Homo-oligomer: A and B are copies of this chain.
Amino acid sequence: MQHGLTPFFAPRGVAIIGASATPNKLSYGILRNMTLYGFQGQIAPVNPKADQILGLTCYPDITSVPDPLDLAVIVLPAPAIPATLEACGQRGIRAVIIISGGFKEVGEEGAALEKQILEIAARYQMRLIGPNCVGTLDLYSGLNTTFIQGVPEKGGIGFISQSGAVGGGVVDYIRNKYIGFANFASLGNEADITETDVIEYLRQDEHTRVIAVYVEMIRDGQRFIQVARQTTPHKPIVLLKAGRTSAGARAVSSHTGSLAGSHAAYRAAFLQAGVIEAETVTDLFDISMALAHQPLPQGNRVAIITNAGGPAALLSDSLAEHGLQIADLEEQTRSALRGRLNPAAQVSNPIDMLGGAEPPEYEFALQQALADPNVDVAVVILVPQALVNPLEVAEKIVQVAAAHTKPVLTCFMGEWSVEKARQHLHSHGIPMYVFPEIPGRVLGAMLQYARWLNQPPYETVPLHGIDRNAAAQILAQAADQTALGEAQTRPLFEAYGIPLVAGEAAHSPQQAAEAARRLGFPVALKIISADILHKSDVGGIRLNLNDPQSVETAYQDMFSSIAARLPQARLEGVLVERMAEKGQEVIIGMRRDPNFGPLMMFGLGGIYVELFGDVSFRVAPLSRRDALEMIQQTHAGKLLSGFRGAEPGDLQAVVDVILRLSQLALDFPQIAEMEINPLRVFPHGVLALDGRIILS
């Protein structure tokens, strides 16, 4: 079955509404691009003032355009668009690209207009790309609804960009470099179709082998995760997110009027869905190019074949920094190399054939390296030498790589003298990078994706012993509060099966002493007061009380000293808790992200979490593996795993608390923030020692 977005990339006929006959207008540029790249369907300019443009019959309105007609591209001033869209709907068109700006991005009035066109589209079950975008192009159907000059070569990258400018700049940079694209979609304001929709389309597009994405904001984070998680087992997604820092996020939101959310949520979502995060625009295409056309590495052992030592050293640094290692070549390989290369050549890895290396030596060395069972990947480096023809070396590399199933990347360090070599390599699917640091970074990303593919699929976790009704009741009673202290979070956590340190509320010194007797000594007392969130700041915690008399005295002291400091505070009583045994302390928290929903946090307790920023994040819901990886990603995780001979903590019990807390967050959207701090971890089991909740 045809995907609903197919008309945006391979329609049977396209109308360009507002096509101008004046060559310096954008709409003329679009029409011209439609005619340049072999599009086989109908191309129908719509303009009441012309009969023909570029030799194409021009129609006065959309109604008069004959079949077949699947797609309308609108390039009219914003105020004229609602009526035009109505006409498209009546004509039966179900796919419309609105190039024009003047909508949400220009303020309130534009936002109202955008809402209006969305309503019209919904009425006719039309899908929209844009407004405020530069259109789509498809290298296989020949469709080009953009006004960008030139197109990339045909290849395997499907590129989705929220920014038309970034898309245009990339195309301008990439043309003539033979980096092959399957298609490109610029999405602009994303009034209807979002990056997630196009990812879903490209998942099943036969020509797209890797999905490259530039985004400034992902509005429906949960759906993105779901769609990405269904896509990455089939083809990789490489994504660049602008607005990683608060300065960047401000720039994004001043530009699109959107709330970008926190990058911690994005980063977590990418990890959980197997999305490779690019760091820069170049990074995005360096990685995509390799994933589109090279097999994945089966391991991390790299052979380097080079005619110069310096670049090999730079590459070695970069490989090490990205989790790869220099392969130990078999003695057989080394002796074969020794027999054939310059006697002064270095035959252990890196294989340095020295400056005079000719194409046949490259051929031989690459063959040997790829045949070595200790090698998972080969990177070939060439530094231009006066007497060696880079194109001939490229030809040998293409031949040898085609006879093997291991990935081959290259670094030809230069530009002027390696252009033909690049063309040959790229048009045969072998990435050529100019500088030796790049292949290390690219291989790191390929390895990350290969490992992702080997993971078992995402599994939801059934949690037992959860009393959702009890929790709902507690939260309903607290509906007018903004924050819940420990005395209120205890029953809530209890309802979700989170282990708590043994404790009871008491409302007099005598009750406290009796509670302590029941719980067993030593105990701690903690003040209960809706007016006090930070108990320790006001002397509201007493620890290590060993007998009933100390409990009574501590109760009285605490009440009188707090009353003296905070005469307004209503003091309801104390929590009496049995002192827990020693153990490593961690924090588990949740903050609700505007785009992704509950964002879970795990980190080391005490002052070190702040000093070292040692925390990790995941978006709920989490699988058991997500939660475990979240712990292992931190230094706190190393401590819990028995760092330096310490007794390991009960990781599975921590995982269980993370999952239960995330379920609580998913079940009750009114919880804005939540924290168990500290959770004490023992060799067997864990105990929550304190908690708080902020309601929205």
- Contact indicator per residue, chain A 305-343, by CB within 8 Å of chain B (1) or not (0): 001111111111101110001100000000000000000
Residues of B contacting A608 in the complex (Cβ-Cβ under 8 angstroms): 608
Within 8 A of B (CB), among A592-607: 607
Within 8 A of B (CB), among A616-655: 635, 638-639, 643-644
Q: Does A29 contact B (CB under 8 A)?
A: yes
- Contact indicator per residue, chain A 240-261, by CB within 8 Å of chain B (1) or not (0): 1011111110111011100000
The reply to whether A175 and B643 form a contact with Cβ atoms under 8 Å apart is: no
Known A147-B386, A149-B386, A355-B165; contact A643-B310, beta-carbon cutoff 8 A: no
Identify the closest chain B residue to A613 (Cβ).
Answer: B635
The reply to whether A344 and B102 form a contact with Cβ atoms under 8 Å apart is: yes
Q: Does A112 contact B (CB under 8 A)?
A: no
Residues of B contacting A250 in the complex (Cβ-Cβ under 8 angstroms): 316, 326
Within 8 A of B (CB), among A278-301: 279-282
Q: Does A516 contact B (CB under 8 A)?
A: no
A215 to chain B, nearest CB (A): 10
Residues of B contacting A256 in the complex (Cβ-Cβ under 8 angstroms): 309
Q: In the complex, A558 Cα to B611 Cα: how many Å?
A: 38
The reply to whether A242 and B313 form a contact with Cβ atoms under 8 Å apart is: yes
Quick one: copies of this chain in the complex? 2
The reply to whether B172 and A24 form a contact with Cβ atoms under 8 Å apart is: no
Q: Does A395 contact B (CB under 8 A)?
A: no
Q: In the complex, A169 Cα to B434 Cα: how many Å?
A: 9
Known A165-B310, A308-B163, A643-B611; contact A281-B437, beta-carbon cutoff 8 A: yes
Q: Does A350 contact B (CB under 8 A)?
A: yes
The reply to whether A386 and B26 form a contact with Cβ atoms under 8 Å apart is: yes
Identify the closest chain B residue to A162 (Cβ).
Answer: B310
Q: Does A303 contact B (CB under 8 A)?
A: no
Q: Does A436 contact B (CB under 8 A)?
A: yes
Which of A43-51, A408-416, A500-508, A673-681 contacts the other chain? A408-416
Residues of B contacting A243 in the complex (Cβ-Cβ under 8 angstroms): 313, 316-317
Residues of B contacting A316 in the complex (Cβ-Cβ under 8 angstroms): 243, 245, 247-248, 250-251
Q: In the complex, A280 Cα to B325 Cα: how many Å?
A: 19
Residues of B contacting A376 in the complex (Cβ-Cβ under 8 angstroms): none
Q: Does A166 contact B (CB under 8 A)?
A: yes
Known A256-B309, A639-B611; contact A319-B166, beta-carbon cutoff 8 A: no
The reply to whether B255 and A309 form a contact with Cβ atoms under 8 Å apart is: yes
Identify the closest chain B residue to A635 (Cβ).
Answer: B611
Known A172-B413, A247-B326, A254-B346; contact A26-B387, beta-carbon cutoff 8 A: yes
Q: Does A214 contact B (CB under 8 A)?
A: yes
13 A/B residue pairs, CB under 8 Å, sorted by A = A166-B383, A168-B414, A172-B384, A173-B413, A242-B313, A245-B316, A251-B312, A252-B309, A252-B313, A255-B310, A255-B350, A255-B352, A612-B635
B-contacting residues of A (Cβ < 8 Å)?
A: 24, 26, 29, 101-102, 105-107, 147-150, 161-166, 168-170, 172-173, 175-176, 214, 216, 240, 242-248, 250-252, 254-256, 279-282, 304, 307-317, 319-321, 325-326, 344, 346, 348, 350, 352, 354-355, 383-387, 413-418, 434-437, 607-608, 610-612, 614, 635, 638-639, 643-644
